[in-house]
Structure 1
Amino acid sequence: MFEIASKILPPSRSVRSLHPWIESQRFEAVPQKDVLDQILRLVEEAVRRRVRQGGKPVKVIFDLDSTLFDVKPRSLRILKEFAATPEAREFGSEYVNWCQGLQAHQLVYTIQESAAANGFPRGAKGEEFLKKAFQYWMGRFFTHSYVQVDHPVPGAADYVKAVVDRGAVAVYLTGRDWPGMGRGTQAMLRHWGFPLCTGEGELVMKPSFGTDDSEFKDAALRDLRIHGEAVALFDNEPANFHVFEKNFPAAHLVFFHSNCSGKEAKAVSKIYRIESFLR
C-alpha cells in the first residue's frame, strides 16, 4: 500500500493525446473560465427552478481518470518499478534507463504511444520489452493500491465543491470497476476533499472489470436520467459524448483535453473544451 500524495502537483506542459475526433469536432469558442462559470450559473438556475416548481435533483457528472484525476503518476510509478525488476534488466541498460528517465508529463495514453513520443531506443529487443512492460502495467494499474498515486488535476476539487455548494449533486461516473478499485477510489476522493456524502456526491462504478466503458456509462446515464437532471457532463473520452448527448440532450458537454484512447467517436452538436478546472 502506498502513501497518498500530500500535495497537488502544479500545472505542467503535459503531453495530450491526439485523436481524429479532436481535429474534426467543432468546439464552442468559449474561454475555459467562462465555460466553468457558466455551468455554475446553470446549476444555480436549475436549483432555484426545482425549489419553485419541484422536480428531480440537479446533478453534474464527472469522469475520474484523466478528467478529475491525473493518472500519469500512476503509470510512471509502475513503469519505474518494472525497470527495477530482474526481468527488465535482462533486456539491457538502454531500455531500463529509458524507463527510469521518463517523467509523468511525457506519458501518453498507451505505453507504445509514450515510447514513440519519447525516443524509445531502437533495437531487436524493444518490442518484447514494451510487451513485458505492458503486462506488468496491466497487473497493477487497475488496483486499489496504485490508484493512490494519482493527483487531482489543478482546480478539480475546488470546482466540484463549488458545484455542490450551489445545490447540485456531483456524480463521479467512472470506468473504474468496483471490485478492483472501489476502496482505493473512495479513499482518494475523501483524501483530496471531493464531496462524497449523501446528497452531495455519488460514486458510480462498473460492476466488473470486463464491462465496456461506453456501454456501462450509457446504462448508468439512463438510470441517472430517471432520478436526476444533469446540467453538465465532463469527460476526457471522445467516444462517450454521443452517449451523453443521447441521454441528456440539453446538458452542457465538456471535453477535458488530456489523454484519451483511440476508440472511434461520433460528432456531437455542441461541446466545450477545457484543459483544467482553474478559473
Structure 2
Amino acid sequence: MYDLIDRAEWRSHKHRVAELLPNLKDAVYDADDLLDEFKWYVLNVKVEGNGSQSLSRDFFDSVIQGSFIKSVNGIRDRLDNISNRLLSMGLHEVTTRFDKSVRPETSSFPNETKIFGRDMELKKIIEFLCKPRNSNSANTKRQKGNSAVDVSTSTSASNQVNSESSISDLIVLPIVGIGGVGKTTLAQHVCSDTQVKSHFDLIIWVCVSDDFDVKRLTKEAIESCPGKQATTENLNSLQNILSDIASSKKFLIVLDDMWDDVLKDNGKSWKTFCAPLKNVLHGSAVLVTTRCQKIITT
C-alpha cells in the first residue's frame, strides 16, 4: 500500500487520483494503528502473562473474536476498494527511480507566470532568506532550530517561518506539502524574485526526487555555476570544488523534490552532501521542496 501511495503521488496532478489519495492514506494509517494495537496485545501477553491461561484467553477473545477482527475486515475492504480503483487508472506499474522521461527535470525558471493563493508564503520565504543576519562572534550565538513552510493547503502557511535550521552558517528552509500543490512553482518564483537575485551571488537548482545520489547532486550543483565543470568521478575532488565555490560566493541552493530516502542510515547521505558546505559565506542558504514532513533538515 505504501508503494501504491508513492505511485499515486507521482500521478497526483490527475484529478481522480488526487481525490482518492487522501482516502488511501487514511486507510493505510488506520491499518498501521491496528497493527500497533495487535503488537501491544502480543507484548502484553509476553510481559505479564507468564503462561497465564486467563490472560491468553482474554487476548484471544479481544483480538480474534472481538471488535479487532471487525476492524481488520473493515480496513481491508477500504483498502481493496481504493486500491482497485487506483489500479484501474494505470497505477499498477512499478515506481521508477529518478527518470527524467517520467519525472521531467525542473529548473529555476517558472513555468507559470503567476501563482495564486501563495502570496503570503512567497513573501515569508523571501523575507526569511534575505533578512540581515548577525555574523557569529564570541558574544553572539545564532539560534538553531527547525522551521518549515507548510503548503499542503490553500490557506496561509500553518507553520510560519519563525526559526532557523542551520549547518554552521548555512540556513536550510524546507517547503513541505503533498504532490501537486505547487512547491516547485513557489520555489521557482523565489529564485526569480529581484530581491533574491540581488541578495545571492549564485543560485543553484538541483532536481533530487527519490534518488539522493550524493555524487550526482554534487556534480549538478557544480555544473550550475558559471565556468565550472565536474569531469571527475572522485567524490573527494568534487567536494573540494563545491567547497571552494561555497566559500567564495553567497549562494542559494534549491533541492527540488527531496524524498525521504535521504533519512536512511541516520541521514548519512544528507550529511555527506552538506560536508563541503560547512564554511560558507554568511547568508548562504538551502531551500528544499519535499513531500515528507520528517525532512526538517538540521
TM-score by length of 1: 0.33
Instruction: Work out which of the two has the higher radius of gyration on C-alpha atoms and give 1 or 2.
Output: 2
More RCO (CA 8 Å, sep 6+): 1
